[in-house]
Structure formats: C-alpha cells, structure tokens
Amino acid sequence: MALVLNEEQQSLKDIAKEFLQKNAPVTHFREIRDTESELGYDPDLWKQMVDLGWSGILVPEEYGGFDFGMVGMGSILEEMGKMLTPSPLFSTGVLGASLISLGGNDKQKQTYLPQIVDGSITTALALEEGNRHSPLSINTEAKKEGKNYTLTGSKTFVIDGHSSNLLIVAARTSGSENDSSGITLFLVDPSIDGVEVSKTSMVDSRNSANITLNEVIVSLDDVLSEENNGAALLEEVLDRAQIAISAEMLGNASQAFDITLEYLKERKQFGAVIGSFQALQHRAAEMYSELELTKSSVIAACVAADEQSNDLRRMASLAKFKAGETNHLVTNEAVQMHGGVGVTDEYDVGLYLKRARVTEQIFGNSEYHLDRYASLSEY
C-alpha cells in the first residue's frame, strides 16, 4: 500500500491549498463567525468549490461526477482543515454523495447526484439521537401505512442540518433500539409538514441542528436502499465519513503545529527565543512524530477506501482514533506554548483547539474507535 500521493492526487492537493490560502484564509472563517451568517458558510465560495469539481469527487462519472476517490477528497479536506474553512463539503460531498451513490436506486441517483455535483442541493445526515455516537441507537419510528411511512422522533447534532435541502433520516421500521436489523433510511424534504429544524451553534462556531419529526409523511419512493437494511449502508458510509473527518483533523493539527513552531522561533523569554529551551523542543518533537504517524494512518485509510479493502473498517477506526488523539495533543500543546495569549481571540491558535474539540466527537471519539478497532481485531 503506497503512503504517498501520485501525481494527479498531489496536483489536486496543491490546487486546493492555493485556492484556500487565496480565497478562504482564517480571516474568512472569522468573518463568517462574526457576521453570524445564517448559512454558516459563504455561498459564493461554495459555488467556486463546486466549479472546481469538489462536490463531485466521490460521485460516479455517469452522474456528472469525477469518481476521484477518498484520497482526493481527503487531500482537499486536509487543506480545508488548515484554513478552518466552513462549507457543506463534508455533509454533502462525502455523506450525501456516498449515501446516494452506494444506496440509491437508479431514479434517486439520476435525480440527486447531478444536483450534488452542480451545487443545486446540499444534504445532511440525521442519524444521532444522543450525546455520543451510537449508530444503532435509533428510536425514531417509521410506521408503514399503505404506500407511505409516518416518521416520528428527534435527531441531534445534524451537521449542516439547518441549511440543507435534503435530509437523509435514519429511522426504525422494525426491531428495538441497538438492533442492527430494522433500520431504514429515508430521503426527506426539510420543508414538508412536520419537520422542525432548530439551528445550534457549536463551540467552534460551526452550525448543526436539532431536528424533530412530528408524524412526517414520506412515500415508498423515499426509501434509500432496502427497508430494514439501512444499517449495512450506514456502516459503509460512516467508514468514509470517519476517514474524511480524520483528514480534516490532520490538517487542523498540522496548521496548529506550524503556527506554534513559528511562535517558538519568535517569542523571547529570559533573553532567548523560547524555541531554544530543551523542554519545549522535546514537546515539539513529540508533536511532529505524532503528526507523521497520523498522516500515514489517514492516507492508508483513504487508500483502503478506494481499493475497497477488506480491512477498511479497521483502517477507518485507526485513522479516527489517531487523528483524535493527535489533534487533542497538538492543539492543547499549541495553546499552552503560546501561554495566556493562546486563549485570546486575537490569536488564531485557540480557534484550532475549539474546532478540534468538536471534530473529535463527530461519528465517534477516540475511545469509541479504540474499542471498535479492538473488537474488529478480535482482541
């Protein structure tokens, strides 16, 4: 398994880096935050990303996409993590595109995938119902009545749920909580009767939503994949999502490290730059080593996804575990090495710590994935 990018993949990464540094530096994130944007991202910037083809990275070519794979998507998300760029790329280009590509019927693919590619719609996965990631803990009920279903329940931490045009809702059509069978996925228009969307602002100033479904009526045509078999599709897509968010976390940690390294070279104390202090050098060396290990884990997971490896599930959990541990370490150390100014809004480094605390929880924290990795390895 190659742990380096090929020429095309490196070119995509370089283009993303140049574009984001020019059009979406950290000052862009601050502007979105300070203006309290209702969308939580800049629609004009998102349109430019769409024009670059980013929304179609994981979409098959027959539906207008580029089918460039997870290595390509991971490269873009890593660069976005460095700039803290807010956009619906993760919720739409990864989650929505993957769910519909892998689970949709011909009509659903032909309807929705071209719209994802051209930016006509954004999507959101309404999965979680508690405070921690537990993909089988589904209590939202879907009762079948003739050719329709009635959805009743609530969802939390729906990433970009406040601004999406299409919700993908996990509900239970049979069985009881934590049963792997009996989960069904539904395509739901958030504007129809019975759907209540409440926007929430996270500590990292990104937006998610709490969604309540009050006897929402959907049809048989809105079922994604097979009735009662949604867990299999969810598992496959969540592997992709965990790898994708790990790539962003790698970018987040890498940039926090680079900012701190520059600070160590400039800040003087006791007549010397603090980077000359051996204790801080040791801490910086540890961060660098952990970042290199994380980089290898993320690339390996992306490659496993593209090659449809039998080891994909373990690689996804390894990447999410390692990215979570490293991002936590690096952002903590970054703020501590900056001292008191590290927690002021004037300095960017505190923004990376806040983003790290949220991404650590998305689709399972390090503890969750360490346990999952051990179980998959039959420990």
SS3 (DSSP) at 352:
helix
Taking the C-alpha atoms of residue 52 and residue 16, their distance in angstroms, rounded to an integer, is 9
SS3 (DSSP) at 5:
coil
293 and 330 together in one domain: yes
Instruction: Give the total number of structural domains in the chain.
Output: 3
Encode pLDDT of 309-322 as tens digits: 999 999 999 999 99
Assign residue 216 the CATH number of its domain: 2.40.110.10
Of the pLDDT bands very low, low, confident and very high (cuts 50, 70, 90), residue 5 is confident
Residue 136 has pLDDT above 60, yes or no: yes
Taking the C-alpha atoms of residue 144 and residue 322, their distance in angstroms, rounded to an integer, is 42
Say which residue the tokens 């999507």 belong to: 123
192 and 275 together in one domain: no
Say which residue the tokens 């100014």 belong to: 341
Token reading at 94: 């990864």
220 and 259 together in one domain: no
Assign residue 80 the CATH number of its domain: 1.10.540.10
Q: Which of 70, 87, 120 is the last residue of a domain?
A: 120
pLDDT of residue 107: 97
pLDDT average, residue stretch 194-213: 95
Residue 1 has pLDDT above 60, yes or no: no
With a pLDDT cut of 70, the percent of the chain lying above it is 99
pLDDT of residue 4: 72
pLDDT average, residue stretch 336-341: 93
Answer yes or no: is 2 within a domain. Answer: no
Of the pLDDT bands very low, low, confident and very high (cuts 50, 70, 90), residue 177 is confident
pLDDT average, residue stretch 258-269: 94
Within 10 angstroms of residue 99's Cβ, the number of other Cβ atoms is 27
271 and 338 together in one domain: yes
Token reading at 124: 């959101």
- 3-state per-residue secondary structure call for 166-193: EEEEEEECCCCCCCCCCEEEEEECCCCC
Alpha helices in the chain (DSSP H): 7-23, 26-34, 43-51, 69-83, 97-103, 106-117, 230-266, 278-306, 312-338, 349-359, 366-376
257 and 367 together in one domain: yes
107 and 128 together in one domain: no
pLDDT of residue 351: 97
Residue 191 has pLDDT above 70, yes or no: yes
Of the pLDDT bands very low, low, confident and very high (cuts 50, 70, 90), residue 91 is very high
207 and 318 together in one domain: no
Q: Got the DSSP string for 116-147?
A: HHTTS--EEEE---SSS--TT----EEEEETT
240 and 366 together in one domain: yes
Residue range(s) defining the domain that contains residue 45: 7-120
Q: Enumerate the β-bridge partners of residue 149.
A: 144, 218
250 and 353 together in one domain: yes
Residue 2 has pLDDT above 80, yes or no: no
pLDDT average, residue stretch 122-126: 98
pLDDT average, residue stretch 194-200: 96
Encode pLDDT of 22-79 as tens digits: 999 999 999 999 999 999 999 999 999 999 999 999 999 999 999 999 999 999 999 9
Residue 100 has pLDDT above 60, yes or no: yes
Of the pLDDT bands very low, low, confident and very high (cuts 50, 70, 90), residue 6 is confident
Q: What mean pLDDT, rounded, does the chain reach?
A: 96
Residue 195 has pLDDT above 70, yes or no: yes
pLDDT average, residue stretch 152-167: 97
pLDDT average, residue stretch 336-365: 96
Assign residue 372 the CATH number of its domain: 1.20.140.10
Residue 356 has pLDDT above 60, yes or no: yes
146 and 85 together in one domain: no
Whether residue 364 contacts residue 372, with contact meaning beta carbons closer than 8 Å, is answered with yes
Q: Specify the pTM.
A: 0.96
